[in-house]
Amino acid sequence: MTRRPVDMGDPDRLYTVTGGRSRTDDDMFDLVTLIVSECGPSPGMQSEHIRILELCRHPTAVVEVSAELKLPITVVRILLGDLLATGRITARHPGRARSLIDLPDSALLEEVLHGLRNL
């Protein structure tokens, strides 16, 4: 059976982008994990990796990378995994663990309120 990374309009392209991989460790990258490049692109790199490194010269959330590259979140997580494994990016994870019962504390929420009131 041929497994494709994602079943959507143009699967062949996405298959190529991810080198045929379809899964990654979801816990590694939340939608709002902030990605920061630790180096510039080098010759011969895959174009998507180059774009991510350029985009993330300033902290950029995973979801923004996805929107700018016009690639589904799943695919972006795989690409980010490559760059993280080779030390080309670092990830700043959300303050909270991805657990359903781990609710935010009042101190964090007070900071959020303060920020919103100053809008």
C-beta of residue 99 within 8 angstroms of C-beta of residue 84: no
Per CB under 8 A, does 99 bind other proteins? yes
Site string for other proteins, 58-87 (x = CB under 8 A): xxxx-xx-xxx-x-xxx-------------
C-beta of 60 vs 79, nearer to other proteins = 60
C-beta of residue 48 within 8 angstroms of C-beta of residue 57: no
DSSP-derived letter for residue 96 is: S
What does each C-alpha distance from 56 to 27, 51, 53, 64, 74 come to in angstroms? 20, 8, 5, 10, 18
C-beta of 39 vs 97, nearer to other proteins = 97
Site string for other proteins, 1-30 (x = CB under 8 A): -----xxx-----------------x---x
